[in-house]
Amino acid sequence: MMPMSVPREQCELEVHVGGEWRSIAYIERRGGQARNQPTWLDYDIDYAAEHLGAHGHRAVSVRYPVDFDQHAIATFPPFAIDLMPQGDARRTLAARLRQRGQDESDWNVLLHGASNPVGNLRVVQSVVPSEESKEGVSRAQVVARGDGFRDWAEREGIPMTGSTDTGGAAPKLLLTEDEHGRLHADGALPDRRARRHWLVKFPRGRRSADLVVLANEAPFLEVARAMGLRCALPATYDDGALFVPRFDRVVTVDGEDATVERLGLESVYAALGVVRAGAPLAYEDVCELLAATSDDPRRDIVELVCRDALAVALGDRDNHGRNTSLLKAGDGSVALAPLYDFAPMYLDPEGISRQTRWASERRGRLAVDWQEVTENLREHVPREVLGPALRAFGAKLEGVRASMADAGVDRAIIDARASAITTTAQSLEAVEG
């Protein structure tokens, strides 16, 4: 009796380099729908011949430098999960797939929802011809309709291609601003008309705490900037909508036309090979990743430690592996991406807990042992470098409440975090080395 053949399916990936989309690789699955089913990755032969050994923006992942090998992956490709809509956007796509009688597996979501993700990769099968957006909408129209904007736009016949190919629990839109300041779905506006790219966030839920968290995200990012951390351009909050400038797009205007460079963006989850949403991580492993991939690992590891110290002090507990990423620039360099999704998540009604922890936390301690952090990271950052950096950050943290007030953080949050700020600052200032 002949064995039954296993059905094979393949999707094609493209990368945006040198101002154009090019075939880069193929993912194949051989039966099975679950995320823990094996898949196979092959680079396009012509592409591999041209870019052999590349690991930055010219590769699908830092885990898979460009080569001629076939890679057997034990699970759904971790980097492919970065390309798929998550949270609210995935629920919307899943409902549409069900209406068409199609399943909502990861594979199908990838094939239908990865036409315009953040970063510089896309799935060919998800790209559909789109009507060019002509007039666009105003910011006021986006704000007025909130998270119902997409449904309203589709009823009005406004092209919305590529506007929801993004992740996160909260409703989001990817919008592009044209030469006249009008907003369009990111995938419906040609690059020549693009001037700015926006990620627009709405509250995670309808509760007052959800609004407070969103309203304080832009001020929190400005506090981080005042503390010397790496941040993108300032975000702005407008009556229930947060407009966040994207750092994975670089626009160059020449006369009346523009060109858009798409930078590579890979989450820590993807770079570490993690596929389970919300999976716990060790900060030490993230630092190992930076040591192996960053062009300036010492700088990025110090930055990461200081970011977490500020998060502990200000109460941002939402530190899962998709809220930290690697940015892969057009010159081939890899670095820790600017800080994003930084907000007072201790207020979230769902009771979010820290998913990425230091060794002392994993042993059950409530407080981070910053001295131990310097010891555990000394292979990558000498104690005589990290110790003084943490002491200086702690000294600056002593005055962070003034920065919070200047940035417009709610007074209730400033008062509520006073004790944690003091405790964290003192712990950092006590670090030896």
Residue 285 near residue 272 (C-beta atoms within 8 A): yes
Q: Which alpha helices (H) appear in 123-232, and where do they start and end?
A: 139-145, 149-155, 208-215, 217-226
Q: Which alpha helices (H) appear in 294-369, and where do they start and end?
A: 297-314, 359-362
Count of CB atoms situated within 10 Å of the CB of 155: 8
Integer Cα distance of 130 and 112 in angstroms: 14
How many degrees, rounded to 5, is the angle at CA 278 between CA 273 and CA 281? 55
If you average pLDDT over residues 284-311, what whole number do you get?
99
Taking only the tens place, the pLDDT of each residue in 369-398 is 999 999 999 999 999 999 999 999 999 999
Integer Cα distance of 315 and 23 in angstroms: 43
Integer Cα distance of 233 and 187 in angstroms: 22
Taking only the tens place, the pLDDT of each residue in 111-149 is 988 999 999 999 999 988 777 888 899 999 999 998 888
User: Domain 265-429's class?
Assistant: mainly alpha
Taking only the tens place, the pLDDT of each residue in 56-84 is 999 999 999 999 999 999 999 999 999 99
Q: Which residue in 108, 77, 80 sits closest to 93, CA to CA?
A: 108
If you average pLDDT over residues 320-324, what whole number do you get?
97
Count of CB atoms situated within 10 Å of the CB of 48: 18
Taking only the tens place, the pLDDT of each residue in 396-429 is 999 999 999 999 999 999 999 999 999 999 999 9
Question: Which pLDDT does position 4 carry in this prediction?
Answer: 46
Q: Is the pLDDT of residue 161 over 90?
A: no
Q: Is the pLDDT of residue 199 over 50?
A: yes
Cα 71 from chain centre: 25
- Two tokens, residue 413: 């949050």
CA end-to-end span of the chain, whole Å? 70
Q: Which residue in 187, 198, 173, 189 sits closest to 258, CA to CA?
A: 189
Question: Which pLDDT does position 32 carry in this prediction?
Answer: 63
Q: Which residue in 267, 270, 239 sits closest to 340, CA to CA?
A: 267
| Mean of pLDDT over the chain | 93
Question: Which pLDDT does position 201 carry in this prediction?
Answer: 95
Integer Cα distance of 430 and 234 in angstroms: 33
Domain boundaries, the chain: 8-122, 136-260, 265-429
Integer Cα distance of 257 and 94 in angstroms: 37
Q: Which alpha helices (H) appear in 274-358, and where do they start and end?
A: 283-293, 297-314
Taking only the tens place, the pLDDT of each residue in 2-45 is 344 556 799 999 999 999 999 999 999 987 666 778 999 999 99
If you average pLDDT over residues 176-181, what whole number do you get?
96
